[in-house]
Structure 1
Amino acid sequence: MNPVANFMEQQSLYERIGGDAALRQLTDKFYDQVFEHELISRLFKTDKDLIKEKQRLFLTQFLGGPQLYSDVYGHPMMRARHMPHTITEDDAVAWLQCMASAVSELPLSKELKDELFDRFPRTAFFMVNS
């Protein structure tokens, strides 16, 4: 096997996209859109800095980095945490559109952008509860 390919397979997606710096950039770009989005901004009305920080911690863990979210908040239990909010399929689509836009702005290869974005649709639709 190619040693470079083997090394890349051993690295988490978190590491391959650039770790914490990339996730900070992603969450900033993502929430710039979400907080202004006519359909889904209603879901994000509490402390905006805290929302962004929780997302960064979750994404770190979700993408194979350190278990930062669990260290601070316990098991993610994302569906249970989102259950108090009415989330429709249209909300999931809007969330994914904002994420796709944010991912597209990262200084990554098309392959890494695609791999990163591909992690989100299943989770977004899992949050639908109405």
Structure 2
Amino acid sequence: TERNQDYVLAAQLCGSSTTRIIWRHMIPSFTSYIIVDTLINFPYVILAETSLSFLGLGLTEPVNSLGVLLQKAQDPDIQQNMVWQFFPVLVFVFLIMAFVFIGDALRDAADPYSEKK
């Protein structure tokens, strides 16, 4: 859809090469959308890795991961004596919420159709 825009046609009519049109006109127009989409999808990647490691299908014991730490926190001895081991749960929740809120704010900022108040 970007290559059919008027500014691309204007650049072609001015004699710009295809490489120049791509690097100077098209890439800057959709770079913000790629960044926003990456930030919005990043919590899902963290959630997938954590859940697979928690279930024992992802990273295993010698590697420190949120899923491994959450799996260790299920031990009854840790639940009774070392409550501080539940800190990874708070980190996980805050990390996911931070990326969701930042991605949502960037999506709203990059939306060309939103009403400016």
Q: TM-score, normalised by structure 1?
A: 0.31
Q: Highest CA radius of gyration, 1 or 2?
A: 2
Higher fraction of helix: 2
Task: State the TM-score, normalized to the length of structure 2.
Answer: 0.34
Q: Which has the higher contact order (CA 8 A, sep 6+)?
A: 1
